[in-house]
Each structure stands twice: as structure tokens, then as C-alpha cells.
Amino acid sequence: MNNNIVEFYRAIREDQPLFDQLVTIEDTEQLVDALMNAGPKFGFDLKQDDIRQGLDSLVEIIEEVGNDDELNDFELGFVSAGGAPCFFGSMS
């Protein structure tokens, strides 16, 4: 797993307003675009493939990041559902 993606997720989850905005996005392409745009804010230059791979591995990323901290409500629901295909909004 790309360590930059794990660190990027760790940074995003600490920015509560951004995190709250991201979890409401219902379209995969819009989510990828939003994450691409957020990358530079946190010092990350990620490619679309990196982000898509991170989304595909989100359960593992959440579990790794959660080892350092408590899971938030979104993360608890996502992990307990086993990484449901509709993980951000309804993910069309």
C-alpha cells in the first residue's frame, strides 16, 4: 500500500470540515477530483491512480490509521460494513 495515501488520509481525517465535506460526495469521479484538489493543501502530489487505489483499500487504511486514534463515526460504519461499495455518500 502506498504510504503517501495512508499519510494523506491521516491528514484529511484531522481536517474535520474537509472530511465532513468529502463523505457527502456521492460520485466517484467527483470524489477523486476533490481528493486531487485537496492533496497540495497537505503537501501531497498524488496521481488519480494512487487515489483510486487508496479508495479500493480504504478499510485497510482506516484500520492502520485507527491504530493510532479512535475511529470516527464514518470509519466505524465503513469498517463494520466490511467496506461497503457505497462508502462515500452513495458512490454512484
What does the pLDDT look like over 62-90, one tens digit per residue?
Answer: 888 876 667 766 776 666 655 544 444 43
Domains of the chain: total? 1
What does the pLDDT look like over 21-40, one tens digit per residue?
Answer: 988 888 889 999 999 999 99
Q: Which residues contact 33 (CB under 8 A, 6 or more apart)?
A: none
Q: Distance (Å, rounded) from C-alpha 82 to C-alpha 79?
A: 5
How much is the pTM? 0.76
Within-domain flag for 56: yes
Q: Distance (Å, rounded) from C-alpha 22 to C-alpha 27?
A: 11
> And the C-alpha cell for 28?
466517484
Within-domain flag for 92: no
Q: Are 66 and 75 in contact (CB under 8 A)?
A: yes
The confidence band for 92, taking pLDDT boundaries of 50, 70 and 90, is very low
Tell me the residue range of the domain where 31 lies: 3-80
Within-domain flag for 55: yes
Q: Distance (Å, rounded) from C-alpha 89 to C-alpha 92?
A: 9
